[in-house]
Amino acid sequence: MKASPSLSGQISDIDIRLLRIFRSVVESGGFSAAEVELNISVSAISIAVSDLEKRLGMKLCQRGRAGFSLTDQGSEVYQAILQLFASLENFRTQINSINANLKGELNIGITDNLVTMYNHMRVTNSLAALKQRGTDIRINIRMMPPAEIEKNVLDGRLHIGVIPDSRRLAGLDYIDLYDEESRLYCGHSHPLFEQQQPELDAESLQQLDTVVPVSAMPDRQRSLLQQLNPVASTSDREGAAFLILSGQYVAFLPTHYAERWVHEGRMRELLPEQFSFQTRFAAIHRRGNHSNLILETFIEELNQRENDQT
C-alpha cells in the first residue's frame, strides 16, 4: 500500500467510527467475531477497515483463509486507538466533574463467580447507589481473569476491578472488600464421595487427581496443592466445577459457589478442617486517577458500605 500522510487533516466523526470498528475487530479476534458486537455485516466491517487503511496510508491487518492477524503497524495503531479513546473518556469525565453531573461510563472488571456471595453485597449495593445518583451513567461489566483485570486497570481500559488480593502492584490503589472461604470438593461419582469421614494419609493424598488454577494463588492454597496430585488446570472456577462434577478430580472451590451442588448431593467437601483457606478480595483502581467523578463516586459508595452484609 502506497504511503501517504496519515490523518493530515482533522479527525472527523467518520474517522472515530472507523477507529471504533477496527478496535472491535482486534478485540474480537476477527471480522466474523466482531459482527455480533458491532451489529453490522462482515462486508460492512471489511469496507470500514479498508477505508481506515486508505485513510491512514498503511496496512493494518491480514485477513483470509489463514485467519486474522495484525501487521506491526496495525498493532501500533491499535495501541494508539486505546490511548485516544481513554483520552476522550478522560475529557468527558473531567467536563462532568466541572458540571458535577454524573454522566458517562464506569467500566468494571470482576473475577468470575462472585455474585453468589450473598452475604457480601458491597459491590452490588454500591452499583445500585451509583445508578440512583446518576441515572445517565452507563455501567459496563467485564468478567476477566485477575491478571487481565490488573492490566486493563493500569492501562485505563477499566476504571476499577475486583480481584483476589494475592499480590499488590505499584500504580494501583486497593480497597479491601471481604474474605472468601474455599474448600476441597469431589463429585458424587468420585470414590471418596460415599465415605462417611474419609481419612487420607500423605500417600493417599498424593494419589488424588487434582485441578489447579493457572492464575496467582494465596500461599496457603499453594502449600495445600503441593500435598495433592495436580494433573489438570483451569483458568476459572467454572472449569474447576466441570472437572469436579466429572467424578474424576478434586479441586478447591469457594464455599458460596459450591453450595448449590452440595445441597443437590452432587458435591461434598473433603477434610474441611485440613483443606480450606481464605482469599482476601479487593477493589483496585489506578493510583492518581482523580479526575473521574463517576469513579470517585463509586469508590465513595464502596467505602461507605464497608460493613454491608446483605
pLDDT tens readout for residues 223-252: 999 999 999 999 888 999 999 999 999 999
**Better-predicted residue by pLDDT, 269 or 37:** 269
Segment 44-88, tens digit of pLDDT: 999 999 999 998 999 999 887 778 899 999 999 999 999 998 888
Looking at residue 308, what is its pLDDT?
Answer: 57
Q: Provide φ and ψ at 43, rounded to 5°.
A: -65, -40
Report how far residue 70's alpha carbon sits from residue 62's, in angstroms, rounded to the nearest whole number: 6
CA dist 283 and 178 (Å) reads 10
pLDDT of 265 > 90? The answer is: yes
pLDDT of the residue at 170: 87
CA distance 270 to 252: 10
Positive or negative: CA dihedral 33, 37, 41, 46:
negative
CB-based contacts of 290, cutoff 8 Å, min separation 6: 296
pLDDT at 8 > cutoff 70: no
pLDDT digits 0-9 by tens, 9-52: 678 888 899 999 999 999 988 898 898 888 899 999 999 999 99
Alpha-carbon span 77 to 287, nearest angstrom: 26
Rounded to 5 degrees, what angle do the CA atoms 53, 57, 63 make? 35
**Long-range contact list for 236-245, CB < 8 A, 24+ apart?**
236/112, 236/113, 236/145, 237/112, 237/113, 238/112, 238/113, 239/211, 240/211, 240/213, 243/211, 244/185, 244/186, 244/187, 244/211, 245/187, 245/188
What is the C-alpha to C-alpha distance for residues 254 and 258, in angstroms, rounded to an integer?
6
Asked whether the whole model's pTM tops 0.75, one would answer no
**End-to-end Cα distance, the chain:** 60
Q: What is the pLDDT of residue 310?
A: 45
pLDDT digit string, tens, across residues 271-304: 888 899 998 999 999 987 666 888 988 999 998 8
Whole-angstrom Cα distance, residue 73 to residue 59?
7
Q: Which backbone phi and psi does 87 adopt, to 5 degrees?
A: -70, -40
Q: Which domains does the chain have, with CATH numbers?
A: 13-83 (1.10.10.10), 179-279 (3.40.190.10)
Pure H helices in the chain: 13-28, 31-38, 42-56, 72-99, 122-133, 146-154, 202-205, 219-225, 237-245, 255-263, 293-304
Burial 134-169 (b: 16+ CB within 10 A, else e): beebeeeeeebbbebbbbbbbebbbbbbbbbbbeee
Q: How far is residue 48's CA from residue 6's CA, in Å, rounded to a whole number?
A: 16
